[in-house]
Structure 1
Amino acid sequence: MSIYNEVHRLRRNGFSNSAIARKLKISRNRVIEYGKMSPDEFYLFSISLQNRSKKLDPFREEILKWLKEHPDLTGAQVFDWLAERLDVSFVAEGTVRSYVNDLREAYHIPKILSEREFSAVPELPLGQQIQVDFGQKRMPTSDGTYKRLYFIGFILASSRYKYVEWLDRPFQTTDLIRMHENAFRYFGGMTIEMVYDQDRLLAVSENAGDLIMTAEFTRYQQTRKFKVYLCRKSDPESKGYVKKRIM
């Protein structure tokens, strides 16, 4: 109840939802949710939470242990750990994030961000690396509706030359192979390694994340003999050039 009252007090004082979330160390969505509730509605809501079981309750103690040991742990990392360490695959990532936020609030475990040291990305030699990213964008059409377009972008790490192709449907493996060949032709050659962003591969279209893992693309990669490097999930800093220049 104290958090609910504080949300409304800060709102009356003109603070934005994001600012309130930072001050109270709760999610912005929670601030918005509490802001819409009357005191009576919040009381009934809090009672329902006490009586409602959640899918992740059987793993509460394990998740709490992780959060206490690693206060900077993100919801996405907890989602991965549940799958890797406890073989939990029946919940969505959003459900895990919400559950983690609830545990942080209930057990007063603020998210403490660890300092990460950054340095300039060293210049790579010519022909060493191409970085690849996938994306999608809703574009207006001539009849006033919108259509979703999908793209793949390639960037040479040494010269920053770029090559982009678009499709009006999700990519297939044959598209991916053809676009790689077109990029090599445009650049005038092939690099030693190709770098792909796991987040984008997994998030864009229905099957973009699976394309690089297909037997057909693996045969192509083995024929071309380039190395494949997958960046860490949720970590754009491990990618470098393509994040800054394609998106």
Structure 2
Amino acid sequence: MAGGMSVKEWVVIHKIKALHDNGKGLSIRAISQELGLSRNTVRKYLRMNENAISEQIEDPSRTKRLDDHRDYLVHLLKKFPKLSAVKIARKLQAKVGELPASDRSIRRYVRTLKEEVASAQMRYYEPILDDVPGVQCQVDPGELRGVLIGGEERTLHFVVFVLSYSRLMYVGMAFRPLDTQTFIQLHDEALRYFGGLPEECVYDLTKLVVINEQYRELTLNQRFHEYATTAGFRIHACEGYDPESKGKVEAGVKYVKQDCLYGEVFRDSEHVRQHVQDWVESVATTAPPVNRPGSASNGMSENTWKLTCHQLACSLWPTRHVEPTRPT
């Protein structure tokens, strides 16, 4: 049958939908037992709507065009099984130019391939928080092991900064374990990139910020506390095991690992830095789009940005690198 769907599969889909009856009939588990299928297969067919099935039958060329690149896509998934369909589409576009199918067709095709290579896809989840504009930046360090740089596997260390209201992101990179000096330097880079600073920065109980906590009495890292006080922002430390209070940046760390770094091969450290900068500008800041500092969507007035930029000049430990800035 057209589009690679057999008559038997077509019959099974309709049988499953009839038994389920839009939730009024048998459960997924009961259908699985009735038809001798896995629950994942039942779920997959229930998710398929009539329009999607009709499109596949009416226009089999979409699937055939993607079949021309099947070996390349399978190679990517075998080597990097957690790649998202969005990133696979970008890689395919870089390789062949114009994509041979729609985004929806590519997502369906990749989902089928992932099942074939027995790979589970991890979703990027970002909870919605009720934030006040211009107040908060969430900060979290992360690391990814086994990144190929110059033919050798290395561990990349990074810090993700996310403005809570606009979700504008900056990623500071390090090629050795983070210490207080490097942590401060990456803050300088991020705040200059944003063009100012919010009223507070939110952290977990990392030793880079909080040396000790007992009954919510915090002993702060003195050097970092002096830096924050001089720059002009408050330190807000989350309680332990409370990822919801810092959800955006927790999700951001996963996003950087899975979408920015995972599946990439780098020539050297400068190649890493350039790739991350390009990714922040072309990918991270376009989903969802945000405006530049000083606009209403970022929640800070132009005067506020000018004032906070002036405060940055008081930094106790200026960075040795050229500070990143937002493109005009």
TM-score, normalisation: structure 2 = 0.34
Structure number with bigger Rg? 2
**Higher RCO (Cα < 8 Å, 6 or more apart):** 2
